[in-house]
Structure 1
Amino acid sequence: MTINCKGKLIDLSTPKVMGILNVTPDSFYDGGRYKDETSILNQVESMLQEGATFIDVGAYSSRPNAPFVSEDEELQRLLPIIKLLVNKFPESTISVDTFRSNVAKQSIQVGAALINDISAGLQDQNMLQTIAKLQVPYIMMHMCGTPQTMQILTDYDDLIKDINLYFSERIAKARGLGIIDLILDPGFGFAKTTKQNFELLNNFELLNIADLPLLAGVSRKSMIYKTLNTSATEALNGTTALHMVALQKGAKILRVHDVKQAQECITLYNQLHAE
């Protein structure tokens, strides 16, 4: 189970960590924290040293009810950061969190290696064709609606079945266009209630419908801190607990704010399953 990132084959048969770098002023946990070159470089250097395989850079907050950001503003936030990271850490593997095809194209052109799309191509009709032309790995997430509307779109006939049907359709569309490397993200917190998020995690292994790598993004999310009656700032222990569950149920990538703790979780998981 490998993906090709700029000619480098990354083996996902052993789980990997994707470190989150939000260059937005309004993300739910770290919004505004990384707004100058020094803080960005220090954070990415730390994540790489702690074991991150991927750095996922986002310039448009996808938290519930996030404000609209124009394409020009997203590019102005994003492209200088990608160039900075590629120059400083040429061996790093940069993922870009965007649902816009032009942003994806320009990000790859300046050195990013893969695209992480919260809409699986449904917010921009040109996204899948763009990915097919670029021939880069593509993370497709399950979501209903948009970040502005998703919190009211939580009615499902059968949560797991509906998500699998969604992925089946998106996979077929992507494969038909010639996209090779696909990763599935069921979208914890996106158009799902807290109860549905736990149902999703409890049945995570049932999403392995096409032998494609699964990404789990539960880091410091409200399903954790609301259940524990705490805050995102205090949700690291709960995050680690759910990371182990996700690994046990087949997650191949953990998308996280706290790389060191996630990598330790993977190390312990690997030891548990050592032959």
Structure 2
Amino acid sequence: MDLQSVAPSLKAAIENGLLADISVDTEEAIAFDSVTLLPPVTAPEKIFCIGVNYANRNAEYKDGSAAPTKPSVFIRFPDSLTGHNQPLIRPPESHQLDYEGEIVVVIGKAGRRISRENAFEHIAGLTIMNEGTLRDWVRHAKFNVTQGKNFVHSGSMGPWMVSADEFSSAALEDMHISTRVNGELRQHDTSASMMFPITFIIEYLSTFCELKPGDIIATGTPNGAGARFDPPIYLKPGDIVEVEVEGVGVLSNGVEDEQV
């Protein structure tokens, strides 16, 4: 099946309630290694990221701060992300490119002031993000991480979206996530450690804005990012980063220097 005969993009399929109409005839299947995977949603209206959302990640800062009562929120731009098996780009302005493996929610149904009890029905599916960060650039100002989160192709998303009907609402509350760099396990935790569960995040964000089909919510990263080692271990060209989320798959990316 030519999927574009159903909808021109995954976002359009979500917006028009056509996910159930998308299927693949195995006789017409295309070899996986012959295609280039883009981020599952290439043009989301909003990409929200939740900062310091795992309890042990807050402790990892070693600043004596109490657990937050409200989530930290920032945004990314679509072109800051690339797809599965595409390189993360280290810019010439900084060699402090770091990894952050995250569980990602794709919104399926628009809503404002969505209650936690109804949040699951607004999810189209789940995907994975490596929320790549230029560490020195997130420290350019006191309350601003935007610069260090939005270098072009510094992060990635994919490899695909798994539809919400493949998960129970309870599964979202205890889903394993791991990050490996060159095969070495660097991050491992479950969503049970989130200080702000996925349903709470949807409720909170939808209080001040309307969540729309195709909107992206990256839900935070466990401890173990490269910046937290002593000395820090940042990504360099030739590294391979894999982020694995239970029930979703593995997002894999190499690292290259930007050609300027």
Structure richer in helix, relative to its length: 1
What is the TM-score normalised by the length of structure 1? 0.24
TM norm structure 2: 0.25
Q: Which has the higher contact order (CA 8 A, sep 6+)?
A: 2
